[in-house]
């Protein structure tokens, strides 16, 4: 979580429920145990904002909703939530995502941010292009063009993404193909990183598999390698990725 401990603001504050409570790293949702943020009554256009103090490509935002406390269950108030990002405090208008709600008690709401980062493939089967692994769509139905697929006969398939800047990588997560069949093909998967497109050979991790339908495979980069490019490859049949999430921090 790159927002932990960063300076935060909100449009107004009720009592002492200030903006910093949302980025203090404490996962408690009961007001009586640990305070959450709270804007003032009568604030009809409330907002909360954090300064990450560096430029990042934002992949998702997660909101931990209020739980049940002495005031009862008012978690349903988390609705019609819009997340935007920006390069300056005066212009935070680039859309990330939306949560219609209503929320439930202590719910962890995940809002994925579509990214313009484009991937590349060793080959492509029909219209299942590399960009489908980095489009923010969490669907796992290949037939609905929600996943990538390398071409038939490609015995060394790979997918590669250029993150446009150098990061230290902590993990890579692969969302596997769903129940239409073929989920077990995700096996013997190697993740490597590199500083240049021609040399993406620094190891991150390995997944032996076989995968299961719609499985979220987490591959930790235990050595914290650095790079600009991330490559996912295997040495057997076709490679299919419904989404590839890359986690790390800027160098």
Per-residue pLDDT of the chain (251 residues; tens, 9 = 90+): 899 999 999 999 998 899 999 999 999 898 778 779 999 988 989 999 999 998 887 878 999 999 987 778 889 999 999 998 888 898 888 778 788 889 999 999 988 775 545 567 677 887 777 788 877 788 888 878 788 888 877 888 999 998 878 889 999 999 999 876 788 899 999 999 999 988 999 999 999 989 999 999 999 999 999 999 999 999 878 899 998 988 888 77
CATH 2.60.120.260 domain span(s) along the chain:
1-113, 119-250
**Predicted pLDDT of residue 96:** 81
Rounded CA separation 200/190 (Å): 11
Buried b (16+ CB within 10 A) or exposed e, 19-37: bbbbbeeeeebebeeebbb
Rounded Cα distance between 217 and 228, Å, is 22
DSSP H or E segment with residue 163: strand 158-175
Superfamily of domain covering 1-113: Galactose-binding domain-like (2.60.120.260)
Q: Select from 205, 165, 212 the least CA-distant residue to 185.
A: 212
State how far the alpha carbon of 30 is from the alpha carbons of 71, 110, 131, 225, in Å. Answer: 10, 20, 41, 38
pLDDT of 116 reads 47
Instruction: Quote the pLDDT of residue 101.
Output: 85
Instruction: Supply the CATH classification number for the domain 119-250.
Output: 2.60.120.260
């Amino acid at each position: 979580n790159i927002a932990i401990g960063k300076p935060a603001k909100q449009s107004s504050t009720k009592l002492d429920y200030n903006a910093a409570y949302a980025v203090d790293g404490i996962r408690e949702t009961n007001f009586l145990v640990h305070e959450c943020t709270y804007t003032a009554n009568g604030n009809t256009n409330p907002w909360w904002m954090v300064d990450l103090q560096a430029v990042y490509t934002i992949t998702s935002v997660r909101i931990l909703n209020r739980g049940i406390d002495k005031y009862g269950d008012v978690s349903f108030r988390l609705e019609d939530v819009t997340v935007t990002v920006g390069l300056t405090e005066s212009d935070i208008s680039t859309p990330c995502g939306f949560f219609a709600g209503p929320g439930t008690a202590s719910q962890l709401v995940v809002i994925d941010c579509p990214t313009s980062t484009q991937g590349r493939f060793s080959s492509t089967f029909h219209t299942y292009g590399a960009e489908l692994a980095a489009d923010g769509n969490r669907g796992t139905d290949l037939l609905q063009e929600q996943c990538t697929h390398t071409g038939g006969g490609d015995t060394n398939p790979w997918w590669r993404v250029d993150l446009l800047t150098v990061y230290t990588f902590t993990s890579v997560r692969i969302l596997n193909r769903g129940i239409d069949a073929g989920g077990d093909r995700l096996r013997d998967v190697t993740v490597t990183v590199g500083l240049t497109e021609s040399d993406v050979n620094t190891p991150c991790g390995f997944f032996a598999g076989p995968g299961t339908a719609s499985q979220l495979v987490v591959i930790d980069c235990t050595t914290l390698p650095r790079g600009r490019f991330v490559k996912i490859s295997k040495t057997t049949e076709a490679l299919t990725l419904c989404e590839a999430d890359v986690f790390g921090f800027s160098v």
